[in-house]
Amino acid sequence: MSREIASFDFKCEGAVSVADLSGEVDMSNAGEVRQRLLQFVSNEDHGLVLDLSGLSFIDSAGLHVVLEVMTLLEERSKQLSLVVPPDIHPARTIALFGLDEFVAVYPDREAALNAARSWPVS
Amino acid sequence: MSDLGGSTLDALERLRRLQSVTDATLAHLSVDELLNELLERIREILDADTAAVLLMDRSRNELVARAAKGLEEEVEQGVRIPVGKGFAGRIAAEGRPIVLDRVDHTTVLNPILRQKEVKSLVGVPLMAQGETLGVLHVGTTTKRRFSRDEVELLQLVGDRVALALQARLSERARVVIETLQRVFTPELLPEVPGLRIATRHLPAATAVGVGGDWYDAFVLPSGDLVLVMGDVAGQGVTAASVMGKARDALRAYALTGLAPGDIAARLDRFLHEFGEGEIVTLLLGVLDKELTTFRFVSAGHLPPLKVGTDGATFAWNRTPNPPLGLARASRFEETVVRLERGTSLLLYTDGLVERRDESLDTGLERIRSVAGSVLWEGDPNLAITDLITLLLEDRRLTDDAAALLVKRPSAPEPTFEAAIAAQPHSLTGIRRSLMQWLEDKGTSRLVSGDVVLAVSEACANSIEHAYGPSGGFVTVAAAMDDDLIEVEIRDYGQWRRSDGWKRDKGIALMRGLMDYVDIDPSETGTTVTMRKSAR
């Protein structure tokens, strides 16, 4: 990114990839966010938990990217879930956008990881 | 008991006895307590065995036994006597005293009087202000000829009873009417961002005048605002109940999304069928959610006043419509008024305008000039108070009066202005500076977050769609007035045709975040205007 407004922290929890995405996501960095997320998920992973706890802003371009990532992972038979604490503004954005109709959203990381344990092997 | 019979009552004695029925200690009694106490005293004064009061039930044109001494069964059994029939019925119908020396089925309808073996009767009408409220009669179980003096005395007593009764009945009616009016007046006016609403309802100073003025204001699911000012052309509890029916029926019709003229036509039929024969004048209008167009219908009602910096003008219905309840009009013509920023609309009833000693034109000219001088600036709540004070001067209201003022405040001066290059990387900067401005204004985190996101979305649209590779710029202006945040995002290019779902989702998001979103494309650029209440 030419000017970093979002940052990543990747790690693996067993067969689940966990990505912390913090900062801001808008049309200026949405493409790069998609790229980095897709690169990170390895072929052995069952799926990706995207933790947005540190996210202060996301716009519709950012949410479209989340949808694209979900679609591309599905094509590789992998799951996607989101960690969105209800008190951050992106939680409202996600609800208004209706993203939670497409993607599983959990209020904290533990809940998301618990659910991810039952993800099927791809 | 015949020691009074035929003798002339001494003037002083009469006065003393009369005073016993106008005693100040009776002032705080209820209707029933009062009647019981008075009957006891009357029976004593006239040395009679029975005394009874029957009250008029106007809806059935009958007299109903309300209080009795020595004839308690009459009340317990709820004896009803048709006006014009029998002893009491004739007194009520003829409005004069009647003396009976012989009580039998030819002269008296009420079997209880015969069973009690009442031999002689004298009765007087209870009249107040030309209206018969009921009948008062006394009787004896021994044969007796009531003298002219005694009849006169009973009539004097009856007049006083009638006055006391009328005061209490009208006080009770007043309580009922005021309760109805409270129930049917919106307790909370709708909050419409970009609009201020103030209302007043002034009941008449005299109980008789209290009636069926009402106003209403509510927002439809479409976002349009319905404004109503109505006046039932009657008084009393009946008028108030018709008001309630009209209000509810109107709300129901409005909810179906009908135009004002169609609502009026249906309400006209409704009142004709179910309205107790009352006539209703109505001003009914719909202000669209853009707050620019007031489409109204006046059914025999006084015209709304449009008030701007250049004074007040009446918005007359192009063709006059009859009042509602007659079911004679086949259609109700609508009229459209533009509501520019900085202008107000005043809806009112004739109680605010009419004075007995002058023509309606004089009254209309007075409200026009007063409205023009006090309504164009300042807080609507204070302005409407000024208006009423100036219109009424020190007069007591003889009729109800109601007023409803809606004001579209002038555009506030923007205190946030920025221009950004139409590039994706500009978005963070505009978000930060706008967020700072909102925080400085004391806006909550949630509202600030919504406004910043909506503005960011609008800017992103301009950046993505308005310009070619050579680029351009986008301006953002924001203003806050009276808890209303208004933002304007403007570009100077032309949006390419929508790429469908993606752009639509962005705009839907803006609409979800803000109270009002308008996108106005033109050849020289696109302007997005958005409003949100900071509360």
Q: Does A96 touch chain B (CB under 8 A)?
A: yes
Size of interface A-B (CB pairs under 8 A): 56
Query: What's the token pair of residue A86?
Result: 């209800």
Q: Does B456 touch chain A (CB under 8 A)?
A: yes
Per-residue pLDDT at B15: 62
CB contact under 8 A, B453 and A93: yes
- CA nearest B448 in A: which residue? A89
Best CA proximity match to B416, nearest among B455, B446, B373: B455
Collect the ranges in chain B with pLDDT lower than 70.
1-28, 205-211, 235, 498-499
Query: What's the token pair of residue B467?
Result: 């310009």
CB contact under 8 A, B427 and A3: no
**CA dist., res. A81 & res. A51, Å (int):** 8
**CA dist., res. B250 & res. B271, Å (int):** 11
DSSP B122-160: EEEEEEETTEEEEEEEEEESS-----HHHHHHHHHHHHH
Q: Does B435 touch chain A (CB under 8 A)?
A: no
Q: Using a CB-CB distance cutoff of 8 angstroms, which residues of chain A are in contact with residue B463?
A: 27
CB contact under 8 A, A60 and B506: yes
Taking the alpha carbons of B89, B94, B95, B101 in that order, is the dihedral positive or negative? negative
- CA nearest A2 in B: which residue? B425
In contact, B453 and B509? CB cutoff 8 Å = yes
Of A5, A60, A64, which is closest to B428 when you measure between CB atoms? A5
Per-residue pLDDT at B21: 62
Task: Give residue-wise pLDDT tens across range B350-361.
Answer: 888 888 788 899
**CA dist., res. B75 & res. B89, Å (int):** 16
Of B424, B445, B457, which is closest to A60 when you measure between CB atoms? B457
- Where does residue A4 rank: exposed (0-12), middle (13-18), buried (19+ CB within 10 A)? exposed
Q: Does A28 touch chain B (CB under 8 A)?
A: yes
Tokens 């000693």 found at: B357
In contact, B289 and B226? CB cutoff 8 Å = no
State how far residue B348 is from chain A, nearest Cα, in angstroms.
Answer: 41
pLDDT band at A15 (very low <50, low <70, confident <90, very high): confident
- CA nearest A65 in B: which residue? B502
Q: Does A56 touch chain B (CB under 8 A)?
A: no
Q: Using a CB-CB distance cutoff of 8 angstroms, which residues of chain B are in contact with residue A2?
A: 425
- Where does residue A120 rank: exposed (0-12), middle (13-18), buried (19+ CB within 10 A)? exposed
| Residue B284 C-alpha from the chain's centroid | 13
Better pLDDT: A96 or B115:
A96
CB contact under 8 A, A57 and B512: no
Beta-strand relationship, B516-522 and A47-51: unpaired
- For residue B457, what are the β-bridge partners? none
Q: Using a CB-CB distance cutoff of 8 angstroms, which residues of chain A are in contact with residue B424?
A: 26-28
State how far residue B481 is from chain A, nearest Cα, in angstroms.
Answer: 24
State how far residue A100 is from chain B, nearest Cα, in angstroms.
Answer: 14
Global pTM reads 0.60
Q: Does A1 touch chain B (CB under 8 A)?
A: no
Per-residue pLDDT at A52: 97
Per-residue pLDDT at B4: 45
CB contact under 8 A, A3 and B425: yes
Query: What's the token pair of residue A96?
Result: 């208004």
Tally DSSP H helices, then E strands, for chain B.
13, 21
